[in-house]
Amino acid sequence: MSLPPRQQSILERTRERGYVSIDELAQAFAVTPQTIRRDINQLAEQGLLRRTHGGAASEASSIQNTAYAMRAGQMRDEKQRIAEAIATSIPDHASLFIGIGTTTEAIARALLGHKHLKVITNNLHVAATLADKADFEVLVAGGSVRSDGGVVGQAAVDFIQQFRVDFAVMGISGIDEDGSLLDFDYQEVRVSQAIIDNARQVLLAADSSKFGRNAVVRLGSIALVDHLYSDATPAPAIVRLLAEQKIQLHIV
């Protein structure tokens, strides 16, 4: 199928980066945001990409996550801003869970300036980032190790359930408009549920490409979290849910 040159370029950028914003595209092509919205709508109607609030994302499978190497490169600047904001919210001498995900790995790097943290994680990349900090105590859950460094399984759940910490720092693969938190791996979700259940405050990091993204496993309702950190304001339906549940929204 032949596409107009601008739409073809939009599609290529979206597939390469995973997510692109309307403002970014409008500037790149020297056209109005309304023109870009029309292009995105037409591409979405053809099933070539997915509309998101403020941009477009690649049309990915709802049963299989994007490869780790590609996820690590997507929304890099946005993830960094989210990481810095979350790190600012965590005091020295705190205890925290840090879950699986490329955003949580950015958060771990942003925490290196802190003092005397106790970190329990099921993410080997997080553990490796923090392990050299002499005043940090880093504990790693046992279980099955995935290719992306995530540790999952019942052993990881049992380990997590032995603790009660100040903060849980979580990522997520998708947030549905009804407020459902979605992911791809049932075993990962079971560990994430244990992390949420055993933290006093839950900090959810979700860049704007996660809004409206489909994934097959439901972790639970967004009502489970206390703070949501993102680079853009979610769709009105999600904003209403956050207000109803008294969840603090932090836009960075």
Domain with CATH 1.10.10.10 in the chain: 5-58
Q: What residues contact residue 93 under an 8 Å CB cut-off, 6+ apart?
A: 115, 116, 117
The structure tokens listed for 177 are: 């408009």
Model confidence pLDDT, tens digit, residues 225-241:
999 999 989 888 899 99
Phi and psi at residue 82, to the nearest 5°? -60, -45
* pLDDT level of residue 1 (50, 70, 90 thresholds): low
pLDDT of the residue at 3: 87
Contact indicator for 176, 52 with CB cutoff of 8 Å? no
Please, where in the chain does CATH 3.40.50.1360 lie?
Answer: 68-251
Comparing C-alpha atoms, which of 93, 86, 248 is closest to residue 166?
93
Tell me the average pLDDT across 165-181.
Answer: 95
Q: Tell me what pLDDT residue 163 has.
A: 98
pLDDT for res 26? 94
Evaluate if pTM is beyond 0.85: no
CA angle 47, 33, 79 (to 5 degrees): 75
Inform me whether the pLDDT recorded for 15 exceeds 80: no
pLDDT at residue 134 is higher than 60 = yes
pLDDT reported for residue 133: 96
> In this predicted structure, what is the pLDDT of residue 138?
98
Residue with tokens 């997915």: 50
CATH class of 68-251: alpha beta
Q: What is the pLDDT of residues 94-111, one digit of tens each?
A: 999 999 999 999 999 999
Q: How confident is the model at residue 72 (pLDDT cuts 50, 70, 90)?
A: low
CATH number of the domain located at residue range(s) 5-58 in this protein: 1.10.10.10
Dig out the tokens for 186 from the structure.
């049932």
